[in-house]
Amino acid sequence: MAAHWTPLDEAELTAGWQLWLELGSCAWPGPDWDGTPAEAVRGLNRCFTACDEILAAYRRGGGPADSAVAGLVRSMILAANWTLELWRDDTNPLDAERAALLHADLAAFADHAESVRTLLATGGGWASLPL
């Protein structure tokens, strides 16, 4: 992942802003969580879909595939997909061992999302907004 990001144009700034907003609420299950892994990763599924849409819109607008913002979006797609592949179809109640594994996977995604959000906020000029 890039150590610094500065949007090169309005399209990159828009894609970065959209990604920053999306990553603010997708890592952890909400208060309506039913206790299953499949439900716990539902937010990651929404994030995966949103990131795919952000990247597609950016590319349709002429944004280069090798831009920094495209790389950041792809990194989130990959991070979400990894955890989704492991847990999206698991509707069995969690025991302590599986709960720890799920938590570790969600925490790894959340850490990556937080680092991307920080990078976007710093480069995009909205670092004063709460993470």
- Given a cut of 60, is residue 118 above it in pLDDT? yes
Task: Evaluate whether 47 touches 26 at the Cβ level (below 8 Å).
Answer: yes
Calpha distance 14→107 (Å, rounded): 27
CA Rg value for the chain: 15
User: What does the block give as tokens for 69?
Assistant: 């913002």
Could you give the domains of the chain? 10-124 (1.20.58)
Distances (CA, A) of 22 to 7, 33, 41, 101: 18, 19, 15, 24
Read off the pLDDT band of 30 (50, 70, 90): confident
pLDDT in the model for residue 129: 66
| 73 — pLDDT class (breaks 50, 70, 90) | very high
* pLDDT at residue number 127: 75
pLDDT at 65 over 90: yes
